[in-house]
Amino acid sequence: MIPAAGYVAALAGFDRMTTARLTSLLAGRTPEEGYAIATGEARAAGPVASLFRRDPELAERWRADGVRRTAERSWQECLDADVSVVLPGDPDFPAQLLDDPRCPAVLFVRGDLSVLDARRVGIVGTRNATQRGRETAAKFGYELASQEVVVVSGLARGIDGSAHRGALAVDGSRPVAIVGNGPDRPYPKQNAELWNEVAERGALISEWPPGTQPDAFRFPLRNRILAALVEVLVVVESRERGGSLITAREAAERGVDLFAVPGSLQSRASAGANQLLRDGAAPATDVTDVLVALGLDQRRAGRSRFDSRPRPRGDEVGLLETCRAEPRTIEALVLLHDMTLGDVAMSVARLERSGWLRETGGWFEAVDEWADLA
Amino acid sequence: MFASISSAVLFGAEGHPVSVEVHVDKGLPAFTVVGLPDESVRESRDRARAAVMSSGATWTSHRITVSLAPSHGRKTGSGLDLAIAIGVLIASGEIPAESVRNLAFIGELGLDGSLRPVRGVAPMAGAIGELDLVVPVGCAAEARLVALGQTRLVAHLSELIGVLVGEAPWPDHEPDPVLSDPEPVPDLADVRGQPLARGALEVAAAGAHHTLLVGPPGSGKTMLASRLHGLLPALDRDRALEVTMVHSAAGAALPPTGLLRQPPFRAPHHTSSSAALVGGGSNTLRPGEVSLSHCGVLFLDEVAEFGPKVLNGLREPLEEGVIRISRSGIHAVLPADFLLIAAMNPCPCGGGAPGACRCGDAALNRYLQRLSGPLIDRFDLRVNVHRPDVDEFLDNSPGESTAAVKERVVAARELAWVRQGGVNSALAPNVLDQFAPLEPSARLLLRHEMEHDRLSGRGYHRIRRVARTIADLRPVPSEKVSEQDVALAIHLRTSIGRALQIGRAA
């Protein structure tokens, strides 16, 4: 006997399926009836009928999908991937989503949804983040998690991944990830370990069934779920038209407190975050700002980690200080400090060796104690 | 009647002697050329006939057979025109046969009888041997460089006929003596700021290290690259001659003195074909850009935009210093010992400071993968070039001039020559400890790089060679390579691209 959720899992993986279509298929019907209508076994009526009328090709495709994605096979896929299928009627379906205007028709979950009962803060940002940005994300993730706040993010490259890494560095923390593709398909691949760890310790949530590819259109949809699930959203770095701005807008529409980490005017990676500040987001210069918004005791915040790196000496101190303000090229260091190329190269190599500086594409950035989590 | 005239043809960058044998006898009027002529040689018939008639001489109405000996090997080019015309005139009794004893002829004829220069006179003159050589006036300088016998300059066929029948002395077409003013080379003083990139050019010139410049548009990569050949020492007589031969064979412009004394600089466009770059062509085997930059600099701007086949064609010449080309029936070995400097953007969008790049990983990967690993590996120096800041740009104090840097380069090259009899980039791994010993702190730095997987075995040797060159360039060169030298060498071999797909290790 295939449970009703199996039919929903099958339907969610149909070609060109959207949240709205899935919702209207399941409205007032059992999943089995919805499935029969979608595959053409039963007569469509109401909105579904008009959908097929407008787009006859869709009916064709869904009929073919019915052969490919039987409820049985889709259910088995979920069992194999250890993914639970949660429907809006189920007791553990997140309450925050139920009265959302665009409530998902189904959630595919790895892990335990009960972690959402704790205080929740979202940390999002650009995928092409700077070293500094990733460090900030890791720091916020770590410090929030050590206050037993659930860190919610998108597990993408850049800021998202660093926020999760920071949160996971705290023993017993239970971070939550909302992803835009199948929960069994780590994307990007280099974050595979991170995915599994988040799923094991917290929860990994997707609107799409196992096996779904990471298509570009799914990520903005994912962002609305993330925005709906958090109490406070922190944008660490974002470009002028970054996906994090979509999350921010969705959050603003839902009355979620919005924070942005201020960045340099020169940094394109911070352009979006600065724009949010101008539009009224609160500046997050420290994790305390976020904790105050949550009404949590902030005196215990800022628990710092032990820094084991050897202290810089001689010329290195000045060079490091210059790189702290903004990333510098070796040429700029030579000119600013009026040193020879060889001397700068040697000092910079030493700083790099001891972990104070990091080079990317010829630019040297100061590394703070959060770098290993960033 | 029979005549045999000495001439030569061009083959790759080498000249080959050819005897033009002409037989004129009774028979139906005809004019055939045998001995594997290509289309350009067959056309000689019409040019020779028209030129002879325009010069006031009589064209025989007998049957004419021309044989180009030796009969194997394809003959190509219009340089045989003159020899064929003279041959026909002798065989038909218009000119006495003894008048051409000890003479060889190279030149193209115009229909009005005028003589036109052809490409490759320098190597062809070398193939003639001790004969006196008759060439068009335009080829004077090239021919004189190489010819062992006298060089006779002729402007028109009628002049030459006059000389050969004994009516006139050799004409005097001495070209005006040109003041050998070497072409101005762009000066390094024009480059503002950019100490790292300048340093890299100096190191590249001193140690003959192939160099890759990586930087956003407008950072001055092209400007820097076009100043590299100015830093190289002038060519000695032997090398100058080698280079001149190749340029002559390719029909490239030569200085008025005929001899190329400055290292050449070639910058082929990125749409260049493989044949244009390495040389070739169906019959002619024209030298390509790699041969034209022999003993000089080959600059590939926007190197990632070159076709992958074209770039892979560079690997053999980079390895061996020569290029071997084989076509059906033709084989040639052309010199191709050049210093490669290439430039590219760090990513498709141009990049810039951290956080400025808008490229996706996939696009970035595609971009970087256009350069194959083995080619990337040939670059001893991989330098990030940055846009100079406004202050540097507005600073009016000029940088060091080419002349000042060249002095250090020449001294460093001499030092290397005395020490190991070659340039530093050619140091074999097994002699590195002998010629480039490391100070303990330098060894420590290299060890750290290797332990952190940022340096492979190959990269290790390359960095040691570059560090050797850096040490040679110091005001007081030391026998041992210091930590500073190694640190700078590491900076001059940076990672490429934001995502570190091609790390320092490679």
The answer to the question of residue B498 being in a domain is no
C-alpha closest to that of B146 among B185, B106, B182, B110: B106
**CB B193 to CB A365 under 8 A?**
no
pLDDT digits (tens, 9 = 90+) for B172-208: 887 766 655 666 788 888 887 788 888 999 999 999 9
Identify the pLDDT of residue B501: 41
Mean pLDDT for chain A overall: 88
Contacts of A365 in chain B (CB under 8 A): 354
Identify the pLDDT of residue B506: 39
Identify the CATH number of the domain in which residue B124 sits.
3.30.230.10
Contacts of A342 in chain B (CB under 8 A): 470, 484-485, 487-488
Amino acid identity of residue A16, one-letter, is R
Identify the CATH number of the domain in which residue B448 sits.
3.40.50.300
Alpha carbon of B12 to those of B274, B284, B288, B332: distances in Å? 16, 7, 10, 6
pLDDT digits (tens, 9 = 90+) for A266-321: 888 899 999 999 988 999 998 888 888 888 866 654 555 667 788 888 888 889 88
The domain defined by A315-366 folds into Arc Repressor Mutant, subunit A (1.10.10)
**CB A331 to CB B195 under 8 A?**
yes
The residue count of chain A comes to 374
Using pLDDT thresholds of 50, 70 and 90, give the confidence band for residue B346.
Answer: confident
pLDDT digits (tens, 9 = 90+) for A222-260: 999 999 999 999 999 998 888 899 999 999 888 899 999
CA B163, B166, B168, B170: dihedral to nearest 10 degrees?
40
Contacts of B391 in chain A (CB under 8 A): 335
Identify the pLDDT of residue B178: 61
Stated pTM of the model: 0.69
Based on the domain organization, do B116 and B261 belong to the same domain? no
Shortest CA distance from A131: residue in chain B: B354
Based on the domain organization, do B18 and B87 belong to the same domain? yes
Q: Do residues B292 and B252 make contact, with C-beta atoms less than 8 angstroms apart?
A: yes
Based on the domain organization, do B346 and B379 belong to the same domain? yes
The answer to the question of residue B178 being in a domain is no
The answer to the question of residue B171 being in a domain is no
The answer to the question of residue B497 being in a domain is no
Based on the domain organization, do B51 and B159 belong to the same domain? yes
Residue B362 has pLDDT above 70, yes or no: yes
Residue B86 has pLDDT above 60, yes or no: yes
Based on the domain organization, do B429 and B484 belong to the same domain? yes
> Does A111-294 match A315-366 in CATH topology?
no
The answer to the question of residue B501 being in a domain is no
Q: Residue B36's CB: how many other CB atoms inside 10 A?
A: 16
Q: Do residues B208 and B339 make contact, with C-beta atoms less than 8 angstroms apart?
A: yes
Distance CA A85, CA A106 (A): 7
Pair of tokens at residue A191? 């974050």
**Secondary structure element (H or E) that encloses residue A323, with its range:** helix A315-325
Residue B65 has pLDDT above 80, yes or no: yes
pLDDT digits (tens, 9 = 90+) for A182-202: 999 898 888 899 999 999 999
ipTM of the complex: 0.70
Identify the pLDDT of residue B347: 82
Minimal CA separation from A264 to chain B, in Å: 11
Identify the pLDDT of residue B394: 63
Least confidently predicted of A216-220, A231-235, A271-275, B347-351: B347-351
The answer to the question of residue B65 being in a domain is yes
Based on the domain organization, do B80 and B212 belong to the same domain? no
The domain defined by A111-294 folds into Rossmann fold (3.40.50)
Residue B85 has pLDDT above 90, yes or no: yes
**Which residue, B164, B196, B223, sits at the end of a domain?**
B164
Based on the domain organization, do B214 and B280 belong to the same domain? yes
Percent of residues, chain A, with pLDDT higher than 70: 97
Based on the domain organization, do B192 and B157 belong to the same domain? no
Alpha carbon of B264 to those of A218, A366, B339: distances in Å? 56, 43, 10
Distance CA B260, CA B264 (A): 8
Whose structure tokens read 């691949």?
A: A189
Q: Do residues B450 and B463 make contact, with C-beta atoms less than 8 angstroms apart?
A: no
Q: Residue A180's CB: how many other CB atoms inside 10 A?
A: 26
Mean pLDDT of B359-365: 77
Least confidently predicted of B143-152, B296-305, B450-459: B450-459
Amino acid identity of residue B63, one-letter, is R
Identify the pLDDT of residue B196: 87
Based on the domain organization, do B374 and B463 belong to the same domain? yes
If one counts the domains in chain B, the total is 2
Identify the pLDDT of residue B50: 95
The answer to the question of residue B170 being in a domain is no
Mean pLDDT of B253-259: 80
Based on the domain organization, do B210 and B95 belong to the same domain? no
The answer to the question of residue B91 being in a domain is yes
**CB A342 to CB B358 under 8 A?**
no
Mean pLDDT for chain B overall: 86
Q: Please tell me which residue, B367 or B113, carries the higher pLDDT value.
A: B113
CB contact B498 to A (< 8 Å): yes
pLDDT digits (tens, 9 = 90+) for B323-332: 888 876 677 8
Q: Please tell me which residue, A352 or B201, carries the higher pLDDT value.
A: B201
Domain residues of chain A, as ranges?
A: 4-80, 111-294, 315-366
Based on the domain organization, do B57 and B23 belong to the same domain? yes
Based on the domain organization, do B54 and B151 belong to the same domain? yes
Amino acid identity of residue A243, one-letter, is G
Kindly give the pairing relationship between strand A107-111 and strand A84-86: antiparallel
Q: Do residues B186 and B230 make contact, with C-beta atoms less than 8 angstroms apart?
A: yes
Domain span holding position B156? 2-164
